[in-house]
């Protein structure tokens, strides 16, 4: 679950960076709104991308797990038939 941790740190960094930018480089209201809007938009896009990647990985793991379970079931059934004769 390193991806979850990376996303959390990314979002925290984005928020801290935006706050520091507002505090140390004051701009006009219009410029500040643009900065906040752009940062929010970029963070949302990054979160959506990361979320999609996590969903894709989760589906891949689910499919692999399902295949392993099916193979194990087939092996068990073949073994049972061999033992029964």
Counts for the chain of helices (H) and strands (E), in that order: 2, 0
Least confident of 7-11, 42-46, 47-51, 74-78: 7-11
- Between 3 and 37, where is the model more confident? 37
Given a cut of 60, whether residue 1 has pLDDT beyond it is no
Please write the tens of the pLDDT for every residue from 20-71.
Answer: 777 776 667 788 778 878 888 888 888 888 888 889 999 999 999 999 999 9
pTM exceeding the 0.85 threshold for the entire prediction: no
- CA neighbor of 10 nearest in space, from 69, 61, 23, 2: 2
Helix (H, G, I), strand (E, B) or coil at 22: helix
Q: Quote the tokens at residue 54.
A: 């996590």
Q: What is the domain partition of the chain in residue ranges?
A: 2-84
Question: What is the rounded distance in angstroms from the CA atom of residue 80 to the CA atom of residue 69?
Answer: 16
Question: What is the rounded distance in angstroms from the CA atom of residue 70 to the CA atom of residue 63?
Answer: 11
């Amino acid at each position: 679950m390193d991806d979850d941790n990376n996303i959390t740190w990314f979002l925290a960094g984005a928020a801290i960076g935006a706050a520091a930018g507002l505090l140390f480089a004051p701009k006009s209201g219009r410029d500040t709104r643009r900065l906040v809007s752009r940062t929010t938009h970029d963070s949302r896009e990054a979160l959506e991308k990361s979320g999609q990647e996590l969903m894709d990985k989760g589906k891949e793991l689910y499919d692999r797990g399902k295949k392993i379970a099916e193979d194990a079931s087939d092996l068990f059934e073949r073994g049972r038939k061999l033992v029964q004769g």
